[in-house]
Amino acid sequence: MKARVTAHERYAVADIDPRLYGSFLEHLGRAVYGGIYEPDHPTADDNGMRGDVLELVKELDTPVCRYPGGNFVSAYNWEDGIGPKDERPSRLDLAWHTVEPNHVGIHEYADWADKAGIDMMLALNLGSRGLDEARAFVEYVNHPGGSYWSDLRKKNGRADPWNVKMWCLGNEMDGPWQVGHKSATEYGHLANETAKALRAFDRSLELIVCGSSHSDMPTYPEWERTVLEATYDNVDHISLHMYFENYEKNANNFLALSEKLGRYIDTVSGTIDFVKAKKRSKKDVTISFDEWNVWYHTRKQDLSYLHGTEWRFAPPILEDVYNFEDVLMVGSILNTFIRRADRVRIACIAQLVNVIAPIMTRTGGGAWRQTIFWPFKFASHHGRGTALRLSVDGPTYDADAASGVPCLDIAGVHDADGGTLTFFAVNKSGAEAMEVDLALDGFGAAKSVEHTLIKHDDLQATNTEDNPDNVAPRKGDGATLDGGKLALTLPPHSYSMIRVQ
């Protein structure tokens, strides 16, 4: 199979917001307890945070992490997580049917985020609670002192405010499963009033309003229109979520789902434009795609637990073990975000540790990189700069999600300061290698090229604690430079990163 691609220095989509490589940690399963926090672990620091996990998180270089939920946040009392640990209440978490001891709260999370070099993105409970608790939390976190909540923070050991900029106005409020689920009209009103109150506290906050939980929701995309019409003037981003599954074990259909993702972004972008025009507004609202990942490997088996009667502490739920096929899907998802970097400014892989995550741990044992760690790390490290508008001409295939799915899924990023061009390429064809002619126009003479390849003969191959490098990158030999042209050979079903200097 052959494809022709042209990259031109002046054909740009947008400067990529580094927050495109954000992540998410929820009080769910072993994400927090047994994930980032395990006081008895041999690598734990004075705060009980696992050092081995922290090192892997740092390796991903994720600039922002959303917390504390997810569905969990919609019945969460943030005040339960402050003050002396032994006085904090244990609560029943209604979202995941677990017992929440509140040993980790905002102070512990903030210290961990600081150590990891991560900016916090905090979610507010607009399910079981509302405006008043939201404004109290923001005051506790961000006000320097001299008020009830800020002085309480000081009393609890933190003198300086954390100055958190990004605040989510609830989570998946369109979902009937959500505690305190609302109609678009009800939610739009509450979100707008909450946004107004928070803006009265600090105009510079970045506020994120809930869009749809996925594009199959019956209320999509009318939800976005109604909610944006209610909140447009007071919010900065609209949140979208999407998870990808392959129950039928059909690689072609699975890998085509990135087209569905692209359509979702396009439709919501159109809805934003519609509301902007209707309001005669000059302001742009952008997309915070703050939950995305492959999620299906454990979904059915988790149901028996979630629908059971037992209340457990940190049960091993949503612990998808990712395979090589998921590397291709995650690579395509990240490519889709890069290609829409003008509209998607924030995106958070859901989640970061143990729960549908690139990092896996054994409680009391090791921590290792899941297969999907690699495409995320490569995009996070090298997908920074300007997203290029590539012209791509190549073979396509038809699938359930879309017709004319390009077999070559490619995104390009120009880092003008570093003088580097990076291409992320997924060959979605399992049958044939892809020969790519890639013309580089206007970038100046290229001197060298590096090819990093992830390829495994078995789409189902996984990484485990005993075999952590089963699916891992290696140096490829499929890229050569010839004047202003790059020639690539991408093996069937493979992920490649090509870096040109």
Residues carrying an active site annotation = 172, 291
Among 3, 21, 25, 26, binds ligand AHR (CB under 6 A): 26
User: Per CB under 6 A, does 224 bind ligand AHR?
Assistant: no
The first and second tokens of residue 448, run together, are 């060298």
Residue 479's beta-bridge partner residues? 488
User: Per CB under 6 A, does 298 bind ligand AHR?
Assistant: no
Contact 265, 211 (CB under 8 A): no
User: Per CB under 6 A, does 291 bind ligand AHR?
Assistant: yes
Q: Which residue, 340, 229, 240, is CA-closest to 280?
A: 229
| Spatial distance between the Cα atoms of 341 and 12, rounded to a whole number of angstroms | 10
Instruction: Tell me the closest approach of the beta carbon of residue 73 to ligand AHR, in angstroms.
Output: 8
Instruction: Tell me the closest approach of the beta carbon of residue 74 to ligand AHR, in angstroms.
Output: 9
| Number of shown-chain residues binding ligand AHR (CB under 6 A) | 11
User: Per CB under 6 A, does 351 bind ligand AHR?
Assistant: yes
Nearer to ligand AHR, 212 or 269 (CB): 212
Residue nearest to ligand AHR (CB): 70
Instruction: Tell me the closest approach of the beta carbon of residue 30 to ligand AHR, in angstroms.
Output: 13
Distance of CA 187 to the CA centre of its chain: 23
The first and second tokens of residue 376, run together, are 């995320």
DSSP string covering 110-179, please? HHHHHHHT-EEEEE---SSS-HHHHHHHHHHHH--SSSHHHHHHHHTT--S-----EEEE-S-TT-TTST
User: Per CB under 6 A, does 171 bind ligand AHR?
Assistant: yes
What DSSP element (H or E) covers 205?
Answer: none
Q: What is the largest CA-CA distance in the chain?
A: 68
Nearer to ligand AHR, 241 or 428 (CB): 241
Instruction: Tell me the closest approach of the beta carbon of residue 38 to ligand AHR, in angstroms.
Output: 21
| Spatial distance between the Cα atoms of 454 and 427, rounded to a whole number of angstroms | 11
User: Per CB under 6 A, does 462 bind ligand AHR?
Assistant: no
Q: How far is CA 2 from CA 328, 403, 437, in A?
A: 19, 19, 8
Nearer to ligand AHR, 190 or 355 (CB): 355
What DSSP element (H or E) covers 258?
Answer: helix 257-278
User: Per CB under 6 A, does 174 bind ligand AHR?
Assistant: no
Instruction: Tell me the closest approach of the beta carbon of residue 242 to ligand AHR, in angstroms.
Output: 10
- Judged by CB under 6 A, the chain residues 233 through 252 that form the site for ligand AHR are 241
Nearer to ligand AHR, 258 or 351 (CB): 351
Nearer to ligand AHR, 173 or 479 (CB): 173
Instruction: Tell me the closest approach of the beta carbon of residue 345 to ligand AHR, in angstroms.
Output: 19
**Contact map string, positions 56 to 95, toward ligand AHR, x by CB under 6 A:** -------------xxx------------------------
Nearer to ligand AHR, 213 or 231 (CB): 213
Q: Helices 51-60 and 106-116 meet at what angle, rounded to 10?
A: 60
Residue 420's beta-bridge partner residues? 415
- Residues at the site binding ligand AHR, with contacts judged by CB under 6 A: 26, 69-71, 171-172, 213, 241, 291, 350-351
